[in-house]
Amino acid sequence: MARKIVVTSGKGGVGKTTVAVYLSAWLAKKGERVVLCDADFGLNNVDLTAGVESLITYDIVDVIEGRCRAKQALVKHPLYGNLFLLTSSNSAPERYVSPQAVKVVLDALAPQFDFIIIDCPAGIDDGFHRAVATADEALVITTPHLSALRDADKAVTILKSYRLNSLSVVVNKVRGDLLSVGKCLTPKDVEELLKVPVVGILPENDGIEFGDLSQIPAPFRVLGNNLLTGKRRLYDVTRKYCGFFGNIRRALKRNL
């Protein structure tokens, strides 16, 4: 039976879709059977981020409205045979989709998969509840900035009212150069502010080629392995900025 994990945040643009796509790809690469569901019905972009926009025939609304079966709407990823996308790209944004309808579709798929990753829209209104209602675990994505953390805190407060098996935080867009000199909140600070364990740290840029899913960067692999093993190994985003050459890299970054 699949673990259903919602990737949420509160604040927009902090990296939910990026994390959902790379994490799903890594889990699939490790042999897990994964469905990545785009529950962002208004501003959906899982298909674009995963590079499958030209392969879509049906989407989740077609399933809900009875035009196809759930399995027919799954798009097999060309690079990862175990990764299946359930998109929402054809759906009209103004159409009402109930949380119950999404739950019925994902519950029907759950017995045949190991993971269902649900990409949540920004905000904490209807779309948030629709994405969370079907999940049994939540990953809250935040950046180490106060505005994102305040929104993450609101999301965490609501998530605590759901009966989830697991609630953890991923800190994205962390600047290793700033963290190495104490000019940015540490994972421990984030953990203390949100009172939720940090299960992943992802650097800002640092050579990551977004859009090329053939390479899954190490920080996403570490996060995915934590989900598989239950461990909390954190990727060291400061490593590049320590020591002699690290100091030079940091100086160069400061001068950009």
Ligand X SMILES: Nc1ncnc2c1ncn2[C@@H]1O[C@H](COP(=O)(O)OP(=O)(O)OP(=O)(O)O)[C@@H](O)[C@H]1O
The interaxial angle of helices 16-29 and 218-229, nearest 10 deg, is: 70
Residue 12 contact among ligand X, Mg ion, none, beta carbon within 5 to 8 Å by kind: ligand X
Residues in contact with 162: Cβ distance below 8 Å, sequence separation at least 6, in sequence order: 132, 133, 135, 138
Residue that the structure tokens 């001068």 belong to: 255
Residue of the chain from 8, 17, 24, 134 that contacts ligand X (CB under 6 A): 17
Query: Nearest Cα to 99, choosing from 84, 114, 83, 121?
Result: 121
Least distance from ligand X to the Cβ atom of residue 190, Å: 15
HSE (side-chain half, CA atoms, 13 Å) at 222: 17
CB of 201 to ligand X, least distance (A): 10
In angstroms, what is the minimal distance from the CB of 50 to Mg ion? 12
Q: At its nearest, how many Å lie between ligand X and the CB of residue 203? A: 6
Binding mask 199-218 for ligand X (x = CB under 6 A): ---x-xx----x--------
Residue 18 interacts with, from ligand X, Mg ion, none (CB under 5-8 Å by kind): ligand X
Start-to-end CA distance of the chain, whole Å, equals 49
Residue range at the interface with ligand X (CB under 6 A); choices 5-13, 51-59, 161-169, 187-195:
5-13
Binding of ligand X by 9 (CB under 6 A): yes
Interaction of residue 143 with ligand X, rule CB under 6 A: no
Report d(CA 115, CA 4) in Å as an integer.
6
Contact residues: ligand X, CB under 6 A: 9, 12-18, 40, 43, 122, 172-173, 202, 204-205, 210
